[in-house]
Structure 1
Amino acid sequence: MKKEIEDILTYTEHRPWKIPNQKWFWYQEWNGVIFLHYQIEEKILRGLVPSSLELDSFDGSYWISVVAFSMNEIHTRHTFPIQYLSNFYEVNLRTYVKSNNKPGVYFLSIEAEKLIPTLLANLLSGLPYKHSQIKRSSNSYSLLGKRAKIEIEFKIAKYKSNPSKFDLWLTERYCLYQGKSDDPIPLEVHHKPWELYGIDIGGLEIQYNQLDHIVDFQHPALCHYSPGVKVIAWNL
């Protein structure tokens, strides 16, 4: 593991800013990741994001993304992963923000498969985790929760050997924000660049109560798949 961490830390040329000058605190893996991206009106998005955060846009357009993946091997520095606590399925709904010219993501909701990791994540991170029923196979996701209902059937398509600026804008994000203060502090993360593929959607049914009849979740503007990344993060 130590050699793996050193390998991640020395691969930094793709980052938009330097890694923090402190010791990392968390290790985790985001595996088998599906990204579904949707354009959203600025006025609607502004009402969903704290005023302390600036909305980030790409050529004047604003976006939210459904991101489904397997969270694996999560543990703190000098500890080790515990099977039940460290491995679970997660689906989040996120958007793109900035603070002090540092672009990151803001989570509108996070659904997690296991109850105790969900409670711990809420306590330790302050992020909007909620326990939901989530099932996954090699080509499908199913989620049933109080805030959302999701069914995704997909096939992995062609490898994106030359991602566009828009592909990178949506995926290469190296901090997240809670937005709970007037001057939000970013939670810094680091990983190697995403290895991106296209997706062929076979079936799709997504409903978020928060955005019902506002976003057409059945027709994403763009989709990505990635085998995943190994991630280190710093504590707030």
Structure 2
Amino acid sequence: MTFLNAYWRNLLFINYEVDPKILEPYLPKGTELDFYNGKCYVSMVGFMFMDVKVLGIKLYNHINFEEVNLRFYVKHNNKRGVVFIQEIVPKPLITLVANSLYHEHYTTSNMDHVWKETHDSLFFEYRWQVNNKWQSIAATTEKEAVPILENSEEQFIMEHYFGYTGHKNKTFQYEVLHPSWLHYKVKDFNSAMDFEANYGTDFEHLKYAKPTSVILAKGAEVSIKNKLTVHK
């Protein structure tokens, strides 16, 4: 059964290689880390939820909104998915529902975004507040969206189709359906954020780390299925 339908638009991924030992405490039981060419990744992701329907119903004032999250990549029985360290949205009801029903790690903050177009580029920025200080990630891209290449880092990052969460020794899985995304080639990016304030001391070092890649996916319609218990 489908829980949520939406359009995920203009997804900005800033990807970092990390020591796998940092992520092991965050692994839901029964999952294992997923690697690309021997590398373990976390990704900062900012994007827009648009035209949101929950159980087929549009909720007033909860149709379009920003999200920023930090995630990493796992496998469970050969199904490739993601685990979220934390997700930030501007809507308290979304936080309540996601944390209560899906055992995710949402928090609520003031947020906004900027999308701009010039004659030769596109600009995307996502902003949110932590401890009354504005944080941001942004990228400037080419204007033409292109397909992702087979077996590329972009494909690894963008094509994990399950989410996993852990709660009271149980592990839950939910499927996320969407077509393969086009992406805009990134010319430049900027990250102005406090990793420790956002995600704790385990991720403080990312403030000084150079991303392995920055990706801007055009996005598409998505469907999020109801959760299943896969480990207990």
- TM-score normalised by the chain length of structure 2: 0.82
CA spacing shift, 1:200–1:150, aligned 2, 3 Å = farther
Cα offset, 1:181, TM superposition: 6.0
Following TM superposition, the consecutive aligned residue runs of length 4 or more in structure 1 with deviations greater than 3 angstroms are 146-149, 158-162
* Distance of 1:104 and 1:90 partners within structure 2: 18
Cα offset, 1:225, TM superposition: 0.7
- Alignment equivalent of 2:217, drawn from 198, 201, 226: 226
Matched, 1:108 2:85: yes
CA spacing shift, 1:234–1:70, aligned 2, 3 Å = same
Q: Deviations over 1:114-172 (max 9, x none)?
A: 22322232223221000112110113222212599632232122644352522111111
* Distance of 2:87 and 2:133 partners within structure 1: 10
Using the TM superposition, name which of 130-139 and 111-120 deviates more.
111-120
Matched, 1:142 2:127: yes
Match of 1:43 in 2: 21
Does the 8 A contact of 1:69 with 1:90 survive in 2?
yes
Using the TM superposition, name which of 40-49 and 203-212 deviates more.
203-212
* Distance of 1:146 and 1:108 partners within structure 2: 18
Match of 1:180 in 2: 167
Q: Deviations over 1:160-188 (max 9, x none)?
A: 43525221111111110003365634201
CA spacing shift, 1:125–1:148, aligned 2, 3 Å = farther
- Alignment equivalent of 1:189, drawn from 164, 176, 180: 176
Matched, 1:72 2:72: no
Give ranges in structure 1 of 5+ residues lacking alignment.
1-22
Using the TM superposition, name which of 224-233 and 47-56 deviates more.
47-56
Residues 1-236 of structure 1 aligned to structure 2 (within 5 Å): 23-77=1-55, 79-138=56-115, 139-145=124-130, 150-157=135-142, 159-165=145-151, 166-180=153-167, 184-209=171-196, 210=200, 211-216=202-207, 219-236=210-227
Percent sequence identity is 25
Q: How many residues align?
A: 213
* Distance of 2:164 and 2:208 partners within structure 1: 24
Paired AA for residue 66 in structure 2 = Y
Cα offset, 1:91, TM superposition: 0.3
Give ranges in structure 2 of 5+ residues lacking alignment.
116-123, 228-232
